[in-house]
């Protein structure tokens, strides 16, 4: 995926953005404004217009992504251009304002734009770093496949538990097993699994992080049992929980990576709408106080 974004059509948009940036920088260098560079000179207005149009176009990626029937270029191409032109925007907008900042709506628009772009940089970082990690973590499986395996293991465990007279214990461990959860839990890959100890107070759960407690309990039970059938079932349970343990850690890492791949968008997108509002006010005000 990342290859196609960064190297789309031989890095076509990298060159477009580079030429745009260099042209802006050269114009800024050659420019001789009254006092110092600012948005009110001819170059300031030119760079401002380019910047504003870029912002609107960059935001249209959200529309293009959803227009499946559109034939205005591929989403891949759009995303590649989005990344490079978005980066160029950082320079263009900075040259536009001539580094003149204040506590006003104009600087608010700039700050929002910078945060949006920086969050985008984080997005690119995740797109470059995580897909490989995700693939190697899942070893060719899909998340649904992994969850299905968990389901199968759970079914086997519940069946074995009946024979070994451990239904209550195993069901509590199966039900108490946590996968994912809130956005924070997903991103932290946190494990809040619980279970109920046999003979313990009803409704009182104990921690079963990484399925270690259930494995410990089953191991103890195995050492105490004399019954060979029960012993066989408990051994089967132990093997299943051990397998589940491995699967769970892969699932949690997968969920975490998926989260990291997407979480920045929850800042990137709303902040771009904030930026769009601030940019609109900026433009209206600039022409109101022409």
Partner 1 sequence: MADPNKPSSEYKVSLEQTSLSKRWPSWLLFVGILALFLIIPLMSLTSKDLATTLRNSPLPSDNSWISGDLSPPHQIPDLNKNCDACHVNGFEVVQDNTCLSCHAATNHHFDINKHDVEKLEGSRCASCHLEHEKPLQIVRQDDQLCINCHSDMAETGVANTDLIDVDSFGKEQRSNRKSPHPSFKVSMLEPEGTLDQTAWKIKRVELASNPVEKSNLVFPHDKHLVPEGIDAPEGQRVLQCNSCHLNDDAGKLMQPINMVNHCSDCHTMVFDEQAPDRVVPHGDPDTVILTLEEYYSRQYLLAELGREPTPQEVKEFMLRRPGKTVDRRVEQTQNLASPWGKAMSIAEEIFERTTCKTCHEISIDDSGKHLSKWRVNPIRLTTNWMPKSDFDHFSHKTFNCASCHSATSSDSASDVLMPDLPNCESCHTGSRTHESKLPTTCIGCHDFHLPEQKPWGGPTESAMNKINRAHDAHQSTTLANSQTISAPSSP
Cα–Cα distance measured from residue 24 to residue 101, given in angstroms and rounded to the nearest whole number: 20
Nearest CB to partner 1, comparing residues 77 and 274: 274
Which of 171, 189, 212, 225 touches partner 1 (CB under 8 A)?
171
Segment lying near partner 1 (by CB under 8 A), choices 78-86, 132-140, 228-236, 264-272: 264-272
**Which H or E run contains 8?**
none
Task: Compute, in degrees rounded to 10, the torsion defined by CA atoms 32, 38, 39, 40.
Answer: -60
Nearest CB to partner 1, comparing residues 115 and 222: 115
Q: Counting contacts by CB under 8 A, is residue 63 touching partner 1?
A: no
Q: Counting contacts by CB under 8 A, is residue 132 touching partner 1?
A: no
Q: Which conformational region is residue 181 in: left (phi greater than 0), alpha (psi within -120 to 50 degrees), or beta?
A: left
DSSP letter (8 states) at residue 201: P
Cα–Cα distance measured from residue 238 to residue 232, given in angstroms and rounded to the nearest whole number: 10
Q: Counting contacts by CB under 8 A, is residue 151 touching partner 1?
A: yes
Distance between first and last Cα of the chain? 46
Which of 186, 208, 211, 240 touches partner 1 (CB under 8 A)?
186
Tally the C-alpha atoms within 13 A of residue 253's C-alpha that lie toward its C-beta: 17
Cα–Cα distance measured from residue 121 to residue 83, given in angstroms and rounded to the nearest whole number: 8
Q: Per the structure block, which two tokens stand in for 233?
A: 């079932």
Q: Counting contacts by CB under 8 A, is residue 273 touching partner 1?
A: yes
Which of 114, 124, 134, 158 touches partner 1 (CB under 8 A)?
158
CB of 71 to partner 1, least distance (A): 26
CB of 261 to partner 1, least distance (A): 9
Residues in contact with partner 1, total (CB under 8 A)? 61
Q: Are 44 and 98 in contact (CB under 8 A)?
A: yes
Nearest CB to partner 1, comparing residues 121 and 267: 267
Residues 6 or more apart whose CB falls under 8 angstroms from that of 68 comprise none
Q: Counting contacts by CB under 8 A, is residue 204 touching partner 1?
A: no
Phi, psi of 195 (to 5 degrees): -160, 170
Which of 27, 61, 133, 277 touches partner 1 (CB under 8 A)?
277
Which of 63, 132, 155, 216 touches partner 1 (CB under 8 A)?
155
Q: What angle do CA 53, 79, 271 make, to 5 degrees?
A: 60
Nearest CB to partner 1, comparing residues 44 and 86: 44
Q: Counting contacts by CB under 8 A, is residue 203 touching partner 1?
A: no
Which spans of this chain sit near partner 1 (rule: CB under 8 A)? 30, 32-36, 38-40, 100, 102-106, 108, 143-144, 147-148, 150-151, 154-155, 158, 171, 174-175, 179-183, 186, 251, 254-255, 258-259, 262-263, 265-266, 269-274, 276-278, 280-281, 284-290
């Amino acid at each position: 995926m990342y290859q196609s974004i960064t190297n789309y059509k031989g890095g076509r948009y990298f060159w477009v953005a580079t030429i745009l940036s260099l042209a802006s920088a050269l114009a800024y260098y050659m420019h001789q404004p009254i006092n110092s560079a600012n948005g009110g000179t001819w170059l300031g207005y030119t760079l401002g217009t380019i910047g504003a149009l870029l912002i609107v176009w960059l935001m249209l990626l959200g529309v293009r992504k959803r227009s499946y029937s559109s034939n205005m270029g591929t989403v891949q191409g759009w995303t590649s251009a989005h990344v490079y032109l978005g980066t160029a925007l950082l320079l263009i907008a900075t040259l536009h304002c001539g580094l003149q900042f204040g506590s006003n709506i104009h600087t608010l628009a700039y700050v929002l734009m910078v945060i949006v772009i920086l969050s985008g940089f984080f997005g690119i970082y995740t797109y470059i770093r995580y897909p490989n990690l995700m693939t190697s973590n899942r070893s060719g499986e899909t998340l649904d496949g992994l969850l299905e395996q968990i389901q199968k293991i759970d079914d086997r465990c519940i069946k074995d538990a009946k024979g070994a007279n451990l239904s209550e214990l195993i069901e509590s461990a199966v039900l108490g097993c946590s996968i994912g959860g809130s956005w924070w839990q997903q991103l932290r890959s946190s494990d809040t699994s619980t279970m109920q100890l046999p003979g313990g107070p009803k409704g009182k759960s104990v921690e079963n992080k990484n399925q270690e407690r259930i494995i410990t309990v089953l191991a103890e039970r195995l050492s105490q049992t004399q019954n060979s059938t029960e012993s066989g079932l408990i051994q089967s349970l132990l093997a299943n929980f051990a397998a589940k343990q491995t699967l769970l850690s892969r699932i949690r890492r997968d969920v975490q990576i998926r989260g990291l791949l997407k979480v920045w968008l929850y800042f990137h997108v709303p902040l771009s709408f904030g930026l769009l509002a601030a940019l609109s006010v900026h433009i209206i005000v600039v022409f109101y106080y022409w």
